[in-house]
């Protein structure tokens, strides 16, 4: 099976591509190699490669910048996804689109399942939801995979930021009133590998199992690493940002369960394995 991966140089892509390469004939394209906003280029590349599956991980993910740059966010996340959907349909490929918990408004109090109503609040979430709608409209065989709070060895993320700050300071304030599900890129990649081999099309929620606040996540990071940091809980209002964040975005994995897939491990277990993967490097550069 031939798999084409967009965004192969991103935080998820840099773990996803090698994992897919172990099982499939995989080819990866970075942003520099494939401009997903060019319909002509996308159609040409996909027609030339003729993949059986496209995993579309490329995205505009600058959540705050999107608030003042709506056109770019939609050009990449909506129309770039439309281009991939059209190309996939033209060559008869499955399309796996990576989406986000930001499609929900965060006003819920229990985990969101795949068919709860979406109501994105910010430009980023709206642009990703638009991408979902275009995939559903244009593709006959698709997987939409919503994930959240992603971290991995490559790129910037919350875990690496906490490790860096934890070496520089002995006191930190961390937001306590936002709750979600951390997701380790390796665990997500392993799930995607299994999913794209199936014919179980539809929407999936894929995060590490369980939920926590950012404060609880930071507490567990410092507990596992032994960094002597005194944490103080604070509110979202204490750290105002241009883009609204979902206050609650824990996701229920109903589609994983009902389609017979193995669920992702608990988030605490995932964090432990990630810290082991980092080894001593976090002590040097976070």
Neighbouring CB atoms inside 10 A of 49's CB total: 16
Please state the domain extents for the chain: 2-156+182-209+249-264
In the block, residue with structure tokens 């991103």: 10
97 is catalytic: no
pTM for this predicted structure: 0.96
CB atoms within 10 A of CB 182: 27
pLDDT surpasses 70 at 253: yes
Render pLDDT for 102-128 as a digit per residue (tens, 0 to 9).
Answer: 999 999 999 999 999 999 999 999 999
3-state SS string for the chain: CEEEEECCCCCCHHHHHHHHHHHCEEEEECCCCCCCCCHHHHHHHHHHHCCCEEEECCCCCCHHHHCCCHHHHHHHHHHHHHHHHHHHHHHCCEEEEEEEHHHCCCCCCCCECCCCCCCCCCHHHHHHHHHHHHHHHHCCCEEEEEECCEECCCCCCHHHHHHHHHHHCCEEEEECCCEECCEEHHHHHHHHHHHCCCCCCEEEECCCECCEEHHHHHHHHHHHHCCCCEEEEECHHHCCCCCCCCCECCECCHHHHHCCCCCCCEHHHHHHHHHHHHCCHHHHHC
pLDDT digits (tens, 9 = 90+) for 200-214: 999 999 999 999 999
Distance of CA 149 to the CA centre of its chain: 7
The pLDDT of residue 272 is 97
pLDDT for res 239 = 86
Architecture of the CATH domain 2-156+182-209+249-264: 3-Layer(aba) Sandwich (3.40)
Residue 286 has pLDDT above 50, yes or no: no
| pLDDT of 71 above 60 | yes
Q: Residue 285's pLDDT band (boundaries 50, 70, 90)?
A: very low
Q: Is the pLDDT score of 60 beyond 90?
A: yes
- pLDDT at residue 111, as a whole number: 98
Over residues 21-44, the mean pLDDT reads: 97
Give the C-alpha distances (Å, rounded to integers) separating 53 from 31, 140, 165, 205. 19, 13, 40, 19
pLDDT of residue 284: 39
**171-175 and 94-100 beta bridge pairing:** unpaired
Q: Give the number of other Cβ atoms within 10 Å of residue 256's Cβ.
A: 21
Say what the pLDDT of residue 283 is.
Answer: 59
Q: For the chain, give the mean pLDDT.
A: 96
Annotated active-site residue in 124, 151, 184, 204: 124
When pLDDT is cut at 50, 70 and 90, the band that residue 279 belongs to is: confident
CA distance 270 to 266: 6
Q: Residue 282: its pLDDT value, please? A: 63
- How confident is the model at residue 101, as a pLDDT? 98
Q: What percent of the chain has pLDDT over 70?
A: 98
Q: What is the pLDDT of residues 163-196, one digit of tens each?
A: 999 999 999 999 999 999 999 999 999 999 999 9
Mean pLDDT value of segment 57-83: 97
């Amino acid at each position: 099976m031939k798999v084409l991966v967009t965004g192969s140089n991103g935080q998820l892509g840099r773990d996803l591509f090698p994992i897919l390469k172990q099982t499939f004939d995989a080819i990866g394209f970075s942003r520099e190699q494939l401009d997903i906003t060019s319909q002509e280029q996308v159609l040409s590349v996909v027609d030339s490669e003729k993949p059986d599956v496209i995993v579309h991980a490329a995205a505009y993910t600058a959540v705050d910048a999107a608030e003042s740059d709506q056109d770019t966010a939609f050009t990449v996340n909506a129309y770039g996804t439309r281009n991939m959907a059209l190309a996939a349909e033209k060559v008869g490929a499955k399309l796996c689109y990576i989406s986000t918990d930001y499609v929900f408004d965060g006003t819920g109090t229990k985990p969101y399942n795949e068919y709860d109503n979406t109501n994105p609040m910010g430009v980023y979430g709206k642009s990703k939801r638009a991408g979902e709608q275009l995939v559903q409209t244009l593709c006959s065989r698709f997987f939409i995979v919503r994930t959240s709070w992603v971290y991995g060895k490559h790129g910037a993320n919350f875990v690496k930021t906490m490790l860096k700050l934890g070496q520089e300071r002995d006191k930190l304030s961390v937001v306590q009133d936002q709750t979600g599900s951390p997701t380790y890129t390796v665990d997500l990649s392993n799930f995607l590998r299994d999913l794209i081999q199936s014919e179980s099309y539809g929407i999936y929620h894929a995060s590490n199992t369980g939920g926590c606040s950012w404060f609880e996540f930071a507490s567990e990071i410092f507990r596992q690493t032994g960094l002597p940091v005194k944490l103080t809980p604070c509110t979202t209002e204490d750290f105002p940002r241009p883009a609204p964040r979902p206050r609650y975005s824990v996701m229920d994995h109903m589609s994983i369960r009902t389609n017979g897939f193995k669920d992702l491990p608990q988030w605490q277990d995932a964090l432990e394995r990630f810290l082991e993967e980092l080894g001593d490097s976090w002590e040097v550069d976070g």
